[in-house]
Structure 1
Amino acid sequence: MKRFSKLLSIGGICLILHLAIATQAHADTSLLHQTSSYSVLGAPTVSVPLINRVLAFYHSPAAGKGQALFDDGVKYGVDPVFALAFFMHESSFGTTGVAQFTLSLGNLRCISAYSCYNGFSSFPTWEAGFDAWYSLIRVVYVDTWHLSTVEQIIPTYAPASDHNDVAGYISALESAVDTWRAGQIAEFGSVHQVPTVSSTPPVITPTAVGPTANTTRTPYPADQYSILGKPSVDGAFINQILTQYHSPAAGKGQLFFAEGVKYGIDPIYALAFFMLDSIFGTEGLSLATHSLGPLPTPTTVTCHCQDFHGYRRYATWDASISDWFQYIHDDYVKQMGLTTVSQVVSIYLKTNDTSAIRFTIKQIERRVDLWRNARAQTPSK
């Protein structure tokens, strides 16, 4: 009995030690999340002048709103550097996608207090959009779900089940945060130091809206991914991909194939651009424009499209697909002599953000490789 009691005592001590260690480990983990350099909670680590300089540098329609972004961060106890990073990743600071019309910092889904636009909350002002984002992060993610770091928030905010690159999203946010905390405006290129006091409002330079205007920018060097050539995938394979992602353009695979043959452009690239721009027409501006890509106005006689806030809007996906191939062939290949992914993307994206350009190039080329490998492994009938 004494021996049993002794064993019980030893076992009890071990159990207590185990629980203590586990409790301490949990506490250490919680402390790690709280003190993480990528915890969204805390005092501002960027100034109002820096926020304004960043927004102006990227030609954001929200330029000059740095004070509002800063004040909301203080109000909710969320470092505004993270709001800025989300804003950049979601819409290049309101310059691309549905945010151009919804004035939403984070492409928030419909909220009862605001109007709804194609599944997204639409705000009357950028300031209202800022406040809604901060409220969501603080009240829902932090206070309700106890998620306070970028690594914890993103898997729920932008889940892989919605075809998001979770690891890429996290990396992009953290890289942007590091850049701005270091006092830089852009992640690549020359460093722009920010003065401690800004006495003049930012100067906004109009963003180029078409290939002709974009020719003042220098295209990236050519790489090995030429968009020209015979189709490397057939109509059936394209239909399989579109169906898999529940695309509203599902069933148009043969048209992709035929237009590719007509213009000498491998349709696999049209498919990759379509995926990167709107996940095959399932989100963003494409919901309203039926556009394979954000092609700018002016409209043409042959495009069978209308002007929609500076972009081409189509009545059918057939018209959109045909116009995309003609647009790339006539404006990029013939007019500017750009034939590779790196060259085309560097002009196609209406942004000066080199990190976004390089990311898009890599994503398109990676997707092309995956599909070509999958097609090669498909048994011939």
Structure 2
Amino acid sequence: MAREAFTVSILDALRARSLDGPGVTRTSYMAGEQAAHDLIADLARGLGLAVSVDAAGNLSARLAGRHPERPAWITGSHLDSVRQGGNFDGAAGVIAGLVAIAAMIDAGLQPDCDIVLMAFRAEESSAWFVGRHGGHFGSRAALGLLWEGELDSATHVATGRSLRAMMTEAGFDAARIAAGPPILNPADIAGYIELHIEQGPILENRALPVGIVTGIRGAYRARNASALGAYSHSGAVPHEYRQDAVFATADLVMALDSEWSRRRAAGEDLVVTVGRFSTEAELHSITKVPGQVDFAIDIRSQDVAVLDGMEAFLRASARDIEARRGVSFGLDPFDRSTPALMDAGLVAALQASASGLSIPFLTMASGGGHDAQDFADAGIPAAMIFVRNDKGSHNPAEAMAIADFMQATRVLANVLCAMAGET
């Protein structure tokens, strides 16, 4: 019960520091995210952990092992949120790591190697940045995975300033990130385990508290897509002479939906989202044929062949609609992140831990992206634990039960102790 009370107190403090209407807002590289980092840093120091902040602003809290020269185990997640999101997304994983380490300390356990809790910056960067970027700035910056020029091509939606400027103004060292080498060296890391709320309904619908993740879907994205037609009078221009950007974009959206349905019926793993769709507010009118639509497309799958096939279908459909509707589509730059497999040995260890603790679980894939995939991309063994969460994610109604969180945290702590060789 003491650990549950500790968890609830941290969650309550986080919510109080970032309350925004019905939800919470912890904006990447701004005050809301920083307040959350400050809270976790204070709690970690209170446990006697060695706290540091790297050049990208990521927080590390280190529990010293008997052999600190050996590769360390890392656990954690992120602390930023989407605008008016829920309090558990990301934060649950950071708090789980803190609770697991606190339990080890209370039990007088010392690991053979260091265990490091990390809170990463800007995991929700797709919500807070536009322009060309690959998301997950904190973990990717630390692992040396940022693309060339990404510090300048990513632009913060709240300020209009580049990622480089946002890092610098927040007090961190973007120049160090650009210059290299990576802050996190794979040779110094034994593995990474991340706890996170499930962001879909699967565990809730199957009445299971915990998920063990096998892999994370890759994503192909047109973040800043557009359709350009011609503005004209809504009453005076006949159908055959129009270059209507809305109808053209609607054709493209419905073509994607039909292809998604076809592939899903064939058993392929695929989700497709058109997450933005808007005409120009300064120019649109009920009496105008719309000449421009701005939109975004997010295509995700565990299978690269499916992602490639959907991109080819998207581009072919766009060419066909351009010819029929007299418009032009802009789909580039087109960002691609490939699927990430979780480490088979770690997956098996998490499954064995849950079984040994008599905690029901489901082995499953992750539809959402997470910092764990960046560790996998860097060649570091990575794994994830999901916690059942009702009402979805990225909204104020997230509903993680503390009892489920504690069960998932027990699985995490058990595997960390086993992997780190506690004594």
* TM-score bin, normalised by smaller chain: under 0.3
TM-score, scaled relative to structure 1: 0.25
Q: Which has the higher strand share?
A: 2
The normalised TM-score by structure 2 is: 0.23
Name which one, 1 or 2, has greater alpha-carbon Rg.
Answer: 1
**Relative contact order (alpha carbons < 8 A, sep ≥ 6): 1 or 2 greater?**
2
Q: Could you say which structure has the higher helix fraction?
A: 1
